[in-house]
Amino acid sequence: MKRLWLVFAQSVTVLLAAYFVVATLKPEWIGRPTRGGFGSVSLIEAPASTSTAPVAGSFSAAARQASPAVVSINTSKMAARDPRSNDPWFRFFFGDQGSQTQAGLGSGVIVSPNGYILTNNHVVEGADAIEVILTDSRHVTAKVIGTDPDTDLAVLKIDLDKLPVIVLGNSDALLVGDQVLAIGNPFGVGQTVTSGIVSALGRNQLGINTFENFIQTDAAINPGNSGGALVDVNGNLMGINTAIYSRSGGSMGIGFAIPVATAKLVLEGIVTEGQVRRGWIGVEPNELSPELAETFGVKADQGVIITGVLQNGPAAKAGIRPGDVITNVASKDVHNVSELLSSVAALKPGTTATFEVLRQSNKLSLEVTPGLRPTPQRPTR
Residues taking part in catalysis = 122, 152, 226
- The answer to whether residues 198 and 174 touch, using CB atoms and an 8 Å cutoff, is yes
**What's the CA gap between 207 and 219, in Å, rounded?**
21
**What's the CA gap between 351 and 39, in Å, rounded?**
82
Report which residue type is found at 326: I
Q: What does residue 168 show for φ and ψ, rounded to 5 degrees?
A: -80, 130
DSSP of 315-339: HHHHT--TT-EEEEETTEE--SHHH
Q: Residues near 370 by Cβ (< 8 Å), separated by ≥ 6?
A: 279, 280, 281, 314, 344, 347, 348, 349, 350, 351, 353
Helix (H) / strand (E) element for 345: namely helix 337-345
Tell me the C-alpha to C-alpha distance, in Å, between residue 27 and each of 11, 20, 103, 126, 264: 22, 9, 64, 74, 70
Q: Residues near 265 by Cβ (< 8 Å), separated by ≥ 6?
A: 276
Strand partners, 366: 355
- Indicate the burial class of 178 (C-beta count within 10 angstroms; 0-12, 13-18, 19 or more): middle
**What's the CA gap between 15 and 296, in Å, rounded?**
113
Q: Of the candidates 117, 85, 80, 84, which has an alpha carbon nearest to the alpha carbon of residue 100?
A: 80
- The answer to whether residues 193 and 87 touch, using CB atoms and an 8 Å cutoff, is no
Pairing state of beta strands 70-78 and 116-120?
A: unpaired
How many Cβ atoms are within 10 Å of 350's Cβ, its own excluded? 12
Q: Of the candidates 364, 365, 358, which has an alpha carbon nearest to the alpha carbon of residue 299?
A: 358
